[in-house]
Structure 1
Amino acid sequence: MPRRRSGALRAQYQGPRVWEDPPPSRIHGLSARTSLAIHRVEGLSSDYYVFPGATVRALRRYRAFLQPPGRRPLYPQDTHCSCRGCSFGDVRHARDVLEEVLQRLPPRPSAELKRQVAHLDAVCLERTLPDPFAHRRQWRADLWWRRRLTVGGEAV
């Protein structure tokens, strides 16, 4: 088989690859590789609630809910609007989005994000109360964060 000439090979080279989107900003507490994997999952997702930036928003919402110091119980608040932006008012929805992203990530980025979420989950379990009637009220009572008491607002 004849060898290609170097000029023919250079003619095939198209130059450096240019990405249309700028690289995503790094998510606080996660590596750049994991942040990029999350950005790719969000961009390729067909789920209405998983969109570019949804994971960052869900992590911030989850941290903000658990932020008030003290030992008094916290109560998640239901949202009245189910659009993409307003639904993050309910911390349980934020946790749903995190779970969806965790399931779609490759193993290593998933493990890194799972470590952060596990820490927040432990604090959430300490600061919220179980709902004994959740199986009657919740449409996703199989998830532990959906089985927490929601009486009142999120104020302590």
Structure 2
Amino acid sequence: MPRRRPRALRAQEPAPRVWAPTPPQPIPGLSLRASRDVRRVERLYPDFHIGLGATSQALHGYRAFLHPPGRRPLYPRESPCPSCPGCAFDDVRHCRDVLDSVLERLPPRSRAELARLLPLDAEYRRRTLPDPFADRRTWTAHLWWHRRLAEPAGG
């Protein structure tokens, strides 16, 4: 095979640069396969509150709520504007809603891997108090994490 001359190589048009988006970072605690499946669900799920990165943000919010050490009860705080996707993650119950929605749509292997990250549920039950009137107050009373006492949005 003949060798190309340097002048001929320099005369060629340079290939156009294609800048691909950076690949998403894996979700802490999940394998690459499970992270990829979660990203696929986030991309294909038609809900307003579940977009790219919502699962990672929900896990971070869930862990941050349970982070303060101690034995004192914690009270989930309602979001000041629940219709805003950024502010809705201030409410730990919304974070758990997002995780539940993603869990329903994952393939079995990835679902089991994400469910392994939810021993946080036991900590949440231990650190929050049950609300005896939750079935009268909220339309999501069938979800156990909404049946806990919470602070109103004002404080």
- Does the aligned pair in 2 maintain the 1:135–1:147 contact within 8 Å? yes
Aligned to 2:93: 92
Distance change >3 Å, CA 147–CA 45, structure 1 → 2 = same
Aligned to 1:54: 54
In angstroms, what is the RMSD of aligned CA positions? 1.9
What code does the residue aligned with 1:108 have?
R
Aligned to 2:72: 72
In structure 2, distance between residues paired with 1:151 and 1:137? 13
| Structure 1 outlier segments of 4+, above 3 Å | none
Aligned to 1:12: none
User: For 1:137-156, what aligned pairs fall within 5 Å after superposition?
Assistant: 137-151=137-151
Measure how far apart 1:131 and its partner are: 0.1
- Does the aligned pair in 1 maintain the 2:78–2:152 contact within 8 Å? no
**TM-score normalised by L of structure 2:** 0.83
Aligned to 1:3: none
In structure 2, distance between residues paired with 1:21 and 1:34? 20
What code does the residue aligned with 2:140 have?
R
User: For 1:12-51, what aligned pairs fall within 5 Å after superposition?
Assistant: 21-51=21-51
In structure 1, distance between residues paired with 2:128 and 2:49? 25
Measure how far apart 1:124 and its partner are: 0.2
1:53-99, CA deviations, whole angstroms, 9 ceiling, x for partnerless residues? 00000000000000000010000001121211000010000000000
What code does the residue aligned with 1:25 have?
Q
1:15-46, CA deviations, whole angstroms, 9 ceiling, x for partnerless residues? xxx9x544321111111110011011101110
Q: Percent identity?
A: 59
**TM-score normalised by L of structure 1:** 0.82
- Alignment size in residue pairs: 136
In structure 1, distance between residues paired with 2:72 and 2:47? 35
SS in 1 for 2:76: coil
Measure how far apart 1:152 and its partner are: 6.1
Q: Return 5+ residue gaps in structure 2 as ranges.
A: 1-17
Measure how far apart 1:103 and its partner are: 0.3
SS in 2 for 1:94: helix
Aligned to 1:106: 107
- Does the aligned pair in 2 maintain the 1:75–1:152 contact within 8 Å? no
